[in-house]
């Protein structure tokens, strides 16, 4: 870990860039870096200091990330596009070598943590709508204005905009204690992290737990209910380590497993619509607390085939032409377009799933499914673009407080966690 070529060990109070930045505390870490809260003595603001591992391949990856982040920041001078800003970058030499450092605007908790705080029960639909709007603004900007594909969109890579003084009171600042294990996904968003694995297990147990949860959440839990009403759910897209320009060749295998689009699995060629697929998976997870697709390998079939089966159980049979059209198609589909090893599919369409499993009202389920289903079209070119999606009426619906309460009661949704986002502190 903290060895030659690896992470740079930081102590509170350490100085960077000739004394401009002073380390305050660790915010998180990933496969490539540790991220520290730092004080910028020049601007008197807090920033996130991402210190990359020093070995050559990490330095190269950091240079790429800096290139993408620079384009993203330069193209958005008004800071209104819901993407993280790069403030500065520099090299820092330490005992383990030379580390590229990125200075990013300081943001709050990830949506994954928000879902966890909410005990995997899903957020109110009004909150989901606000978050979706932000993500779509970010995607529309990346896709249409910059020609960049993010390729690793998921709750972990979307951070809430926290504007609280992060040093005064770490609890109230909406930041959870630093985790002991890396939270990020390994090698470029392909392998599942420990936490993703935990989440997966969690997702599988979720249905069985609903009734159990309801029973256990008597008066005590209800008392701890926190109110997120009226709190603005602004957020920003982060982690551009896997992002790339659509017109430059990148790798074949992209995206974190559960958010991976079918054309990537089948190797049928991909472009911007892969982000729209991941976006739909993310929106579903925000609203239900469960991953939309959590594939497993099983007796005689692999994770990919299970993934394709799960997709077809929710979205219907994949059109034959698409099923057999990819370089990997022969591994999973026969010439009729049926899966080779998983023969019996249990069709459970999205609107029914939302009602039956997640206890949505018929109305909410129909409206949400109408929003999501076009984004999950097996034909990537038929998926709406982020720009088109921003026009969708679902984003401007508003559930009454009464409806939201009914939804909460249905889901046993009593503890909303973070009560302290978006509180501005004067400088
Ligand atoms: P990965 O393995 O996911 O690619 P990475 O090394 O590229 O990891 P990031 O994902 O960018 O690192 O950051 C690691 C963690 O640091 C994030 O999960 C988050 O908790 C925290 N973090 C990153 N950027 C910021 C920021 N701008 N503000 C606050 N916290 C941040
Ligand atoms: Mg990350
Ligand atoms: Mg990264």
Residue 99's DSSP bridge partners are 92
* ipTM for this model: 0.98
pLDDT of residue 5: 79
pLDDT digits over 259-303, tens only?
999 999 999 999 999 999 999 999 999 999 999 999 999 999 999
Q: Measured in angstroms, how far is the CA atom of residue 2 from the centroid of ligand 3?
A: 18
Of 33, 65, 89, the residue with max ligand 1 atoms within 8 A of its CB, to mutate for a pocket test, comes to 33
- DSSP per-residue string spanning 87-108: EEEEEEEETTEEEEEEEEE---
pLDDT tens per residue across span 12-53: 999 999 999 999 999 998 889 999 999 999 999 999 999 999
Round to whole Å and give the CA distance between 173 and 40. 18
Instruction: Please confirm, yes or no, whether 76 is among the known catalytic residues.
Output: no
In this prediction, residue 393 has a pLDDT band, given cuts at 50, 70 and 90, of very high
Label residue 394 exposed, middle or buried (CB < 10 Å: 0-12, 13-18, 19+).
middle
pLDDT of residue 251: 87
- The mean pLDDT value of the chain amounts to 83
What is the best residue among 1, 6, 8, 28 to mutate for testing ligand 1's pocket, by most ligand atoms within 8 Å of CB? Answer: 28
Q: Per-residue pLDDT tens for 161-190?
A: 975 556 554 433 334 333 222 333 332 222
- Better-scored residue on pLDDT, 250 or 218: 250
Ligand nearest to the CA of 102: 1
Digit-coded pLDDT (tens) for 210-229: 233 323 333 333 333 344 55
pLDDT of 421 > 90? The answer is no
Mean pLDDT of 337-348: 95
Task: Please give the pLDDT value at position 82.
Answer: 98
Measured distance CA(22)–CA(41) in Å, rounded: 8
Which of 320, 302, 317, 300 is closest to 265 using CA atoms?
302
Active-site annotation holder among 40, 109, 152, 377: 152
């Amino acid at each position: 870990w903290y060895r030659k070529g690896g992470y740079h060990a930081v102590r509170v109070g350490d100085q960077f860039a000739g004394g401009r930045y002073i380390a305050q505390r660790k915010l998180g870490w990933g496969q490539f870096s540790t991220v520290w809260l730092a004080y910028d003595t020049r601007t008197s603001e807090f920033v996130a200091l991402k210190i990359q591992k020093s070995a050559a391949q990490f330095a190269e990856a950091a240079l790429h990330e800096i290139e993408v982040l620079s384009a993203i920041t330069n193209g958005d001078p008004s800071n209104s596009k819901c993407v993280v800003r790069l403030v500065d970058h520099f090299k820092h030499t330490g005992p383990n070598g030379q580390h590229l450092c990125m200075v990013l605007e300081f943001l709050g908790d990830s949506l994954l943590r928000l879902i966890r705080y909410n005990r995997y029960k899903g957020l109110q639909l009004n909150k989901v709508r606000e978050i979706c709007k932000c993500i779509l603004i970010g995607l529309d900007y990346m896709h249409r204005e910059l020609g960049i594909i993010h390729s690793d969109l998921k709750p972990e890579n979307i951070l809430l905009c926290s504007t609280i003084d992060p040093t005064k009171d770490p609890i109230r600042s909406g930041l959870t204690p630093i985790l002991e294990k890396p939270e990020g996904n390994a090698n470029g968003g392909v392998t599942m992290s420990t936490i993703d694995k935990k989440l997966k297990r969690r997702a599988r147990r979720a249905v069985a737990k609903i009734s159990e949860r309801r029973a256990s959440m008597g008066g005590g839990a209800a008392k701890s209910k926190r109110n997120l009403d009226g709190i603005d759910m602004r957020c920003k897209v982060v982690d551009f380590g896997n992002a790339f320009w659509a017109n430059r060749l990148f790798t074949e295998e992209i995206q974190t497993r559960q958010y991976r689009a079918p054309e990537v699995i089948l190797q049928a060629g991909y472009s911007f619509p892969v982000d729209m697929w991941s976006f739909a998976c993310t929106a579903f997870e925000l609203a239900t607390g469960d991953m939309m697709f959590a594939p497993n390998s099983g007796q005689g079939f692999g994770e990919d085939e299970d993934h394709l089966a799960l997709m077809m159980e929710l979205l219907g049979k994949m059109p034959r032409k698409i099923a057999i059209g990819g370089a990997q198609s022969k591994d999973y589909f026969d010439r009729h377009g049926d899966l080779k090893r998983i023969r019996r599919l249990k069709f459970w369409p999205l609107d029914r799933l939302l009602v039956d499993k997640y206890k949505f009202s018929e109305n909410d389920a129909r409206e949400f499914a109408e929003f999501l289903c076009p984004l999950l079209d097996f034909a990537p070119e038929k998926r709406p673009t982020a720009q088109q999606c921003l026009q969708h009426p679902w984003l401007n619906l508003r559930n009454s407080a009464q409806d939201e309460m009914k939804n909460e009661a249905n889901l046993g949704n009593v503890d909303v966690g973070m009560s302290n986002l978006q509180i501005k502190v004067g400088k």
